[in-house]
Every structure is written in C-alpha cells, then in structure tokens.
Structure 1
Amino acid sequence: MEYRRFPQGYVLRLDPGEEVVASLTKLVEQEGVDLATVSALGAANDVTIGIFDTRRKEYQSRRFRGEYEISALVGNVTRMDGAPYLHLHITIGSPATGEVHAGHLTSCTISATLELFLQVWEGQVGRKFSDTVGLNLLEF
C-alpha cells in the first residue's frame, strides 16, 4: 500500500495481493483517522460479501473468486470503543460473464490495483450495538 496525505484526506493505492479491509484499517490506525468517507475502484480476484438477515440478526456471506472489476467500493470510517470501525459496501462485476454482485464487504484481495480516496471529516461519531436491529449503529 502506498498513500499520500492531502488537506482533505488521503489517496491510496493497493497492489496485487493486498487485502482492502486490513490495509485500510492499518492506515486509519497509524494516521489516527476518527471519521471519514471511502470511495474506491479497481480490480479483485477474491471477494467475500454479505447481506444482513434482519430476522436472524446475522450476516449471510458468500465468497467470489475470479477476475472482477470493482465498480464501486463505498463506505465510512467511525470509531467503536476507541477502535476503528469500517462500514464498507462493494459492487463487483465481470464484463466477460455478465455477473454482478454487491453487498457488505468482509474481505477483498486486489488482483491489479485499487485506487481509494479517504475523505476525512472533523469530529468523531461513535457506534453502539442495537439489540433491536442487531447491528452497530451510528451514535451521536
């Protein structure tokens, strides 16, 4: 991972074999980012995404291996109990097969590159677990 800091945030590049969630978490921890938005695109070959089952209150995940374009990776960075909390969604697709998949990002290994823009916001927003919903919701 290589990155550069700008007044409004960071621009980073991931290379083949690097994992998105671990790399972004590392950057957020070492730079002390408390609140940010994420926007990225690139290519991946091993992606695990999920959807939250509101009845069972758990994620249903599925892994995709192959050559995929990342047409959108969006999300945010907050804090929960002082630790970085990433909430990321991804859309991947293959023009060769016509398949498209989207959902909550669990892991994503880069095949070619990832170009990620991390816009940092002043202040802090926390997270708190909601028994009603079963998720860690924004806490103001």
Structure 2
Amino acid sequence: MIYKVFGDTIVMRLEKGEEIISAVTELCKEKAISAGSVSAIGAVDNVVLGLYKVKEKKYYSSEYKEEMEMTSLTGNISVKDNEPYLHFHANFGREDGSVVGGHLNKAVISATCEIIIHRINGVIGRKFDDEIGLNVIEFN
C-alpha cells in the first residue's frame, strides 16, 4: 500500500495480493480517520460479496475466485466501538461481460487498485438497529 495526503483527500494504491478492507482499515487507524467517503477502481481475483435479507435479518455471502474488473466501489467510513467501520458496496465485471455486486466483505487485488478517500472532519458513529438488524449511522 502506498498513499499520499492532499489536504482532506487521500489517494491510495494497493498492489497485487493486498486486500481492500484490511488496507483501508489500517490506513484509517494510522491517520485517525473517523468519517469519510470512499471510491475505487481496480482489478481483483478473490471477492466475497454479501446480500442482506431484511425479513431474515441475515447476510448471504457469495465468493468469486476469478479475475474481474472492479468497475465501481463506493462507501463510507465511520466508527463503531472506537474502531473504523467500513461500509462498502462494489460492482465487478466478469470475462463474459456480466456484473456481480453487493456489500463488499473481501476483495484481493490481482493487479492494482486506486482508492480515493475524502476525509470528513468530525465523527460519524454506528449503532445497532434491532428492527432491521443492521448497524446504522448515528450522530453524536
């Protein structure tokens, strides 16, 4: 992972074998980022996506072990229990032209990944919502 800070924006590059969630979490801890927005593109070869079913209050995961283009990643950074809390959704283009997407649980880089983080000055928290079964944004 390499990165450069430009005011409230951080441009980050991940290399082959690095994992997006763990790398961004590490950066958030290093730079004390407690709120922000994230976008990224890149190439991956090992992805786990989630789909949440509200009625069941349960995530269903699908794993993809194939080379794909990450055509879009969007998400946010907040804090839960004094730790970075990342909420990312992503779309991935497959060789046949189809696209898979969902809640991003894991993505291992196959070539490179370019990430832009816009830091928000302040803290965005998370709290568990019993009705829907998810950690939702909370403002302190």
- Same fold, TM-score > 0.5, yes or no: yes
Structure 1: which 4+ aligned runs deviate by more than 4 Å? none
- Give the 5 Å matches for 1:94-133: 94=94, 96-133=95-132
Deviation for aligned residue 1:16:
0.4
**AA of the residue aligned to 1:105:** L
Deviation for aligned residue 1:71:
0.4
Q: How many residue pairs are counted as aligned between the two chains?
A: 139
Deviation for aligned residue 1:53:
0.9
What residue is the counterpart of 2:62 in the other structure? 62
Deviation for aligned residue 1:45:
0.3
What residue ranges of structure 1 are gaps of 5+ in the alignment?
none
What residue is the counterpart of 2:21 in the other structure? 21
**AA of the residue aligned to 2:46:** D
**AA of the residue aligned to 1:58:** K
Deviation for aligned residue 1:130:
0.4
The 1-side partners of 2:65 and 2:98 are apart by 12
The 2-side partners of 1:78 and 1:44 are apart by 25
Deviations 1:97-135 (A, max 9, x none): 122101000000000100000000111111000000100
What residue is the counterpart of 2:46 in the other structure? 46
Question: Match of 2:24, SS?
Answer: helix
Deviation for aligned residue 1:21:
0.3
What residue is the counterpart of 1:71 in the other structure? 71
Question: Match of 2:38, SS?
Answer: strand
What residue is the counterpart of 2:92 in the other structure? 92
Deviation for aligned residue 1:9:
1.9
The 2-side partners of 1:70 and 1:6 are apart by 24
Deviation for aligned residue 1:137:
0.3
User: Between the two proteins, what is the percent identity of the paired residues?
Assistant: 39
Question: Match of 2:132, SS?
Answer: coil
What residue ranges of structure 2 are gaps of 5+ in the alignment?
none
The 1-side partners of 2:8 and 2:30 are apart by 17
Deviation for aligned residue 1:68:
0.2
Deviations 1:47-70 (A, max 9, x none): 000110111101100001111000
**AA of the residue aligned to 1:38:** V
